[in-house]
Amino acid sequence: NSCLLRAWIVLALRCFRVASGGHVCRQSKKSPEKMAAERVFAALNRIAHDDVIGIKVRELKKLFAAVPPALLADEVCEVLECAGLSTEDESFVDFAVLCNFVLDEFIGNKLRGVSVEYMRQRLMEEMEAANHAYSAKVYEIEPTVIRPKGARTKCPEDGRFGAAYVNSIFGKDSAGLASFMLSYTWGYAVGDIVDTLAAFCQSKRFEQKRTYIWICCLCINQHRVKEAQALGQTVPFESFERAFGERVSGTGHIIAMMSPWNDPAYISRIWCDFEMYTAVHVVKSQVTIVMPPGEAEKLREELLSGRGLSEVWRVLANLDVEKAEASIPEDKKSILEMIESGPGFHVFNTKTAEHLQAWILQACEGELLTSLQAGGLEHETAACLCTEVGGLLKKIGCFDRASHIFSEGLRLRNLSDALQTKAGAILLTDIGNLKEIQGDPDGALELYSQAHEIFKSTDTFESPEAATLLRYQGKAKGDRGDLPGKLELYLEARRILESTGTLDTIDGASLLSSLGAARRQAGDFDAALEAYEQAKRIQEGLGTMKTPEGATLLSNMGVVKLRQKKRKGALMCFKEAQHIREKTGTLETPAGATLLTNIGDVLESMNDIEGHIEMYERAMKIREATGTLETVAGAILLSSIGRRTFNRGDTTEGLALLEQAVSIREKTQSLDTDAGAKLIKKVADAHMELGDSCRAVGLYEKAFEIRRASNALATDAGVSLLSQLSKARSHQQDIAGALQAVAIVQQMLEAKDVAETIEAAKALVILGDLEEQRGNAPRALDAWKQAQEVRKNIGKLDCAISAETFKKMVAACMVIGELQAAKEFEEAAEEISKKLAEKAQSKTPTGNLSSSLTVDRTLSAAEG
C-alpha cells in the first residue's frame, strides 16, 4: 500500500510540473490526467490530515528520480519552495499544504483574496503567537505577522523568496478569487477589521470560508515594498493607482470600513478617498459601508442620548477630500488633481456623503430592528430608539420607513402603558409632523392635540419639546391662512425656550428661523431679518450651519432678499443651502424640493429660462418620489410650473397644472388664505389671456372675497387683484362694476398713504381706460397723466406699459383738441420705445413672459 500510494503521489505531481520562473503549469483544459491528479490530491489531503502519510524530502526526491520520466531534485525543491515548504532532506513534507498548493487555482492571481474564516481563525492565532493584542493596528502586525508569513515562500510573480501573505496560504478554505475589496486604513485595529467582515458575512448570509476579501496589507507583496523603501525608492503613484484600480474593477464591490462611526478615520485618508473615487466615478462598482459591531453599540448610545442626529449631520458636513492626509505628499497632489479634473471636489464629496448617509441610516435602522427582533431591549429604551431613528428617517425623506419605525414605537408605548408621558408626547409630535409633511393636515392636528394634552397633564409643557410642538402647530395654522395664530404660537414657543434657557440651541435657531418666515409673510422684513440673524448667530456658535437646519435658515433668508429685489444675494443664499443639502443628503426631500423651487423662482426673475425650468423639474421629481405633491408646498410648485408652461404657449397644460394646484389647496384647507387668493388670481389671469373674461371675473371676485375675509385686501397683492378685476369687468361691459373696483383701490392707496407705488400707477391707468370707455376723454387723460407722474417719481417711466400709456394720451389729446400736448406725448412714447429697442439689442432674448401672469414672489420657505 505504501508503494502504491507513493506511485500515485508521483503521478499527481507530474500533472503539475514546474515551469521557468517558479510558476506552476496549470493546464487550461481539464485533461484526464489533471482530473485524476486532482482526485488523488484530494484523497491525499484527507489522508494527510489523519497523519497517515509520513515522507521526507529526500524520499520524495528519490521517488521522482526513480519513476520515469525522472523529475530532477531541483525541480522537486522548486515545487516545495513555491508552496512555502522546507527543502531540507530530513524535513517531513506537509502534504496538507502541498496538496492545497497544487490544487489551488488562483495562486498569483491579482484578485486573489483571503477568506474571512481564515482571518477570523488563523490570522488571529498568528497575532496571538506574536504577542499582539486583539486591538493591534495593521501597521503594528505588518513586520511581525504579515511579512514573516511569506518570507520562505517564492513569489509567484517574480520567482524570488518573499511572497505576499495571500500567496503563502493555500486551499479553498484559506484563499480564493476575491469578490470584495476592503477599503480601510492601516490605523484600524485588526480585531475590528475581522469582526466587521464577519458581521458583514452574517448580515448577507455568506459562508465565511468562501467569502474572499482583497485587502492590501495581506494581498500586496510587502517584501517588495520594503525592499524599495530600503533602497530609498518610492513606489510610484501610477503603480498604486493601477494596482488599486484593477482590484476595484476586478472585484466590482467595495467594502468601505468606517470607524469610529462619528469621526471615521477613513475619510481623512487620501488613499481611501481614491478608492471610493475609483469605485463610484470610474468603474461605478457597488459600495457597501460597514462598521465594527462595537461602533453600532456606541451609535445606539448616541441616539438614546439625543445627540445622534446632530452627530450624523456633523459627520456628513465635515466630509472634505481636500483636507484628507497622505504619508506621501505627491500622492495627495496626484489624487486631488485626478478628482478635480474628473467630477470635481463638491460632486465627489456629495457622492461620498450619499454612501455615508446610506450607511448611517442602515446602521441606525438595522441596529434597532435587530434589537427589536431579538427582544433584548426594554420597552422604554426601544421606544426611545424608535423616536430617534424615525426622526432621522423623516429628516432624510424616507417617510415610509419612518412611519414603520414610529408605529413600532407607538405599539411599544401602548403595550407598556407609557404613551401618557413626556416621551409619548414627543413621539406623537413627530408622527403628527410626518403626517403633515405627507399631506394629511387633519391627522397631524389630531396628533398635535393629543401631544399638547399630554404635555399639559404631565406638567412638562414648559420644555423645549413642547416648544417644538408649538412650532409645528403654528406652521399648520399658517398653512390654513391663520397668520396671527401662527405668530402667537411661535412667540409662545419662544417664551418657553427663553424661560428654560434653551433658546441658544439648534431647536431655538429652528424656531427663530420659522418666526422670521412668519414675520416675512406679514410683510415685516426688518423683524424677519432680525430673527434670521439671531438664528444664524446661534447656529454659528453651535457649529451647525452646515446642517439641514442651517440650510433651512439660509433658504428663508434668501426668500427675504428676493422679496427685497436683491436677486443675487437671494441666489447666493439658495445655492449655499443647496450645497449643504447635497452634502447632508437632504436635497431629495420635501424641504429640498422647496429650496429648488425657490432657486427656480429667482432664476426666472433673472430671465434664466433653462435654469429655472431645470429647477422646477427637479423639484417635481422629488415631490413625486416622496409622495408630497398633494401638499401646500406641492401646490406652490405646481403653480410655478403651471404659470411658466402657460407663458411658453402650452395654455391647456399650464391651466391644468394651475387648477390642480387649486384642487390641492382645497384638499389641504389652504385655499382661503393669502397664498390661495394669489393662486386663484393666477387662474383668472390665465382665463383672461384666453379671452374668457366671464370666468375670470368669477375667479377674481372669489379671490377678492378671500382677501376681504382675511383682512388681506389692503396690500400690493390686493391692489393688483382689484385692478385685474376692474379690467375683467370692463371687458364684460360692466363699467360701473369696474369703476367700483378702481374706487376701492384708490381708497386703499390713500388710506395706506402709498400713492407713489407701481400698483397705484396701474390702478390709475385702468381708471383712465374705464373713463375712455365711458367716452370721457378729459378724465381719462387726467388719470393717465397721474399714472405717468407716479411712474416718473419712482423711476419706472421707461417701460413698454408707459409707452402704451403715452400713446393713449396722444389719442385722448386729439379728441379734445390739445394738439401740442399730443405731439409732446407722441415724442415721449417714441423716446421710450427707442430706449427699449436699444436695450433689447444689447441683450439676448431669453423668453416672452406674459404680462398678465406676473411672477408671484411670495415663496414658501422650508420650515423643517
At 306, the pLDDT band (50, 70, 90 cuts) reads low
| Per-residue confidence (pLDDT) for residue 101, from 0 to 100 | 75
| Per-residue confidence (pLDDT) for residue 710, from 0 to 100 | 78
DSSP run (H or E) holding 767: helix 758-773
Residue 208: DSSP 8-state? G
| Per-residue confidence (pLDDT) for residue 127, from 0 to 100 | 96
- Give the three cell numbers for residue 809: 394720451
> Whole-angstrom Cα distance, residue 544 to residue 536?
9
At 471, the pLDDT band (50, 70, 90 cuts) reads very high
* Non-local CB neighbours of 460 within 8 Å, separated by 6+ positions: 422, 425, 466
Amino acid at 463: S
Q: Which runs of consecutive H residues, i.e. helices, occur in 375-440? A: 379-396, 399-415, 422-437
User: Is pLDDT above 60 for 552?
Assistant: yes
Question: Strands 286-290 and 253-257, how do they pair?
Answer: parallel
Amino acid at 553: L
Percent of the chain scored above 90 by pLDDT? 42
| CA 79 from centre of chain | 55
> Whole-angstrom Cα distance, residue 815 to residue 777?
7
Closest by Cα among 154, 207, 146, 160 to 179: 207
User: Is pLDDT above 50 for 294?
Assistant: yes
Closest by Cα among 619, 613, 646, 614 to 634: 619
At 536, the pLDDT band (50, 70, 90 cuts) reads very high
- Give the three cell numbers for residue 152: 520562505
Question: Strands 175-177 and 112-115, how do they pair?
Answer: antiparallel
Residue 115: DSSP 8-state? E
For the ranges 144-158, 317-331, 604-618, which has the lowest average pLDDT?
A: 317-331
| Per-residue confidence (pLDDT) for residue 540, from 0 to 100 | 93
pLDDT, greater one: 747 or 782: 782
* Non-local CB neighbours of 702 within 8 Å, separated by 6+ positions: 680
| Per-residue confidence (pLDDT) for residue 112, from 0 to 100 | 94
Question: Please, are residues 516 and 529 in contact by the beta-carbon 8 Å criterion?
Answer: yes
| Helix (H) and strand (E) counts in the chain | 40, 6
| Per-residue confidence (pLDDT) for residue 179, from 0 to 100 | 93
Question: Please, are residues 620 and 603 in contact by the beta-carbon 8 Å criterion?
Answer: no
| Edge-to-edge strand ranges of the sheet holding 253-257 | 175-177, 112-115, 212-214, 180-183, 253-257, 286-290
> Whole-angstrom Cα distance, residue 162 to residue 76?
19
Render pLDDT for 196-243 as a digit per residue (tens, 0 to 9): 999 999 989 999 999 999 999 999 999 998 998 888 877 676 777 777
pLDDT, greater one: 4 or 109: 109
* Non-local CB neighbours of 9 within 8 Å, separated by 6+ positions: 40, 44, 55, 60, 63
At 17, the pLDDT band (50, 70, 90 cuts) reads very low
> Whole-angstrom Cα distance, residue 730 to residue 474?
41
Render pLDDT for 825-840 as a digit per residue (tens, 0 to 9): 999 999 998 888 887 7
> Whole-angstrom Cα distance, residue 269 to residue 141?
20
Amino acid at 626: T
CA angle 847, 729, 710 (to 5 degrees): 85
User: Is pLDDT above 80 for 797?
Assistant: yes
| Per-residue confidence (pLDDT) for residue 859, from 0 to 100 | 37
- Cα-based torsion angle of the residue sequence 727, 732, 735, 736 in order, rounded to the nearest 10 degrees: -110
Handedness of CA 685, 689, 694, 695 (dihedral sign): negative
| Per-residue confidence (pLDDT) for residue 286, from 0 to 100 | 85
pLDDT, greater one: 153 or 318: 153
| Per-residue confidence (pLDDT) for residue 863, from 0 to 100 | 36
> Whole-angstrom Cα distance, residue 288 to residue 424?
35
C-alpha distance from residue 411 to each of 368, 432, 734, 777 (Å): 15, 16, 63, 76
**φ and ψ at residue 154, rounded to 5 degrees:** -75, 135
User: Is pLDDT above 90 for 648?
Assistant: no
**φ and ψ at residue 286, rounded to 5 degrees:** -75, 145
> Whole-angstrom Cα distance, residue 568 to residue 599?
11
Question: Please, are residues 396 and 586 in contact by the beta-carbon 8 Å criterion?
Answer: yes
C-alpha distance from residue 734 to each of 174, 608, 722, 724, 781 (Å): 93, 40, 14, 13, 21
- Give the three cell numbers for residue 755: 400713492
> Whole-angstrom Cα distance, residue 694 to residue 684?
10
Question: Please, are residues 538 and 577 in contact by the beta-carbon 8 Å criterion?
Answer: no
For the ranges 56-60, 84-88, 507-511, 547-551, which has the lowest average pLDDT?
A: 56-60
> Whole-angstrom Cα distance, residue 465 to residue 771?
60
Question: Please, are residues 722 and 742 in contact by the beta-carbon 8 Å criterion?
Answer: yes
User: Is pLDDT above 50 for 844?
Assistant: no
Quick one: average pLDDT of 49-69?
A: 66
CA angle 294, 295, 298 (to 5 degrees): 100
For the ranges 11-25, 63-77, 401-415, 601-615, which has the lowest average pLDDT?
A: 11-25
At 654, the pLDDT band (50, 70, 90 cuts) reads very high
| Per-residue confidence (pLDDT) for residue 21, from 0 to 100 | 33
Closest by Cα among 200, 176, 83, 194 to 128: 194
Render pLDDT for 657-692 as a digit per residue (tens, 0 to 9): 999 999 999 998 899 988 899 999 999 999 999 999
Instruction: Give the number of other Cβ atoms within 10 Å of residue 601's Cβ.
Output: 27
> Whole-angstrom Cα distance, residue 476 to residue 669?
10
> Whole-angstrom Cα distance, residue 518 to residue 324?
42
> Whole-angstrom Cα distance, residue 584 to residue 793?
48
| Per-residue confidence (pLDDT) for residue 10, from 0 to 100 | 57
> Whole-angstrom Cα distance, residue 830 to residue 828?
5
Across all residues in the chain, what is the average pLDDT?
83
Residue 108's Cβ-side half-sphere holds a number of Cα atoms within 13 Å equal to 19
| Per-residue confidence (pLDDT) for residue 849, from 0 to 100 | 35
Q: What is the C-alpha R_g of the chain?
A: 38
- Give the three cell numbers for residue 523: 410683510
At 739, the pLDDT band (50, 70, 90 cuts) reads confident
User: Is pLDDT above 90 for 501?
Assistant: yes
Render pLDDT for 111-157 as a digit per residue (tens, 0 to 9): 999 999 999 999 999 999 999 999 999 999 999 999 999 999 989 88
pLDDT, greater one: 62 or 452: 452
Question: Please, are residues 103 and 85 in contact by the beta-carbon 8 Å criterion?
Answer: no
Quick one: average pLDDT of 364-375?
A: 74
For the ranges 105-119, 172-186, 706-720, 745-759, which has the lowest average pLDDT?
A: 745-759
| Per-residue confidence (pLDDT) for residue 20, from 0 to 100 | 29
Question: Please, are residues 555 and 596 in contact by the beta-carbon 8 Å criterion?
Answer: no
Question: Please, are residues 248 and 285 in contact by the beta-carbon 8 Å criterion?
Answer: yes
Amino acid at 293: P
Residue 604's Cβ-side half-sphere holds a number of Cα atoms within 13 Å equal to 27
| Per-residue confidence (pLDDT) for residue 846, from 0 to 100 | 43
DSSP run (H or E) holding 182: strand 180-183
- Give the three cell numbers for residue 117: 474564516
User: Is pLDDT above 50 for 444?
Assistant: yes
Question: Strands 286-290 and 212-214, how do they pair?
Answer: unpaired
User: Is pLDDT above 90 for 515?
Assistant: yes
| Per-residue confidence (pLDDT) for residue 775, from 0 to 100 | 84
Percent of the chain scored above 70 by pLDDT? 85
At 25, the pLDDT band (50, 70, 90 cuts) reads very low
User: Is pLDDT above 60 for 483?
Assistant: yes
At 750, the pLDDT band (50, 70, 90 cuts) reads low
| Per-residue confidence (pLDDT) for residue 295, from 0 to 100 | 81
Strand, helix or coil for residue 257: strand
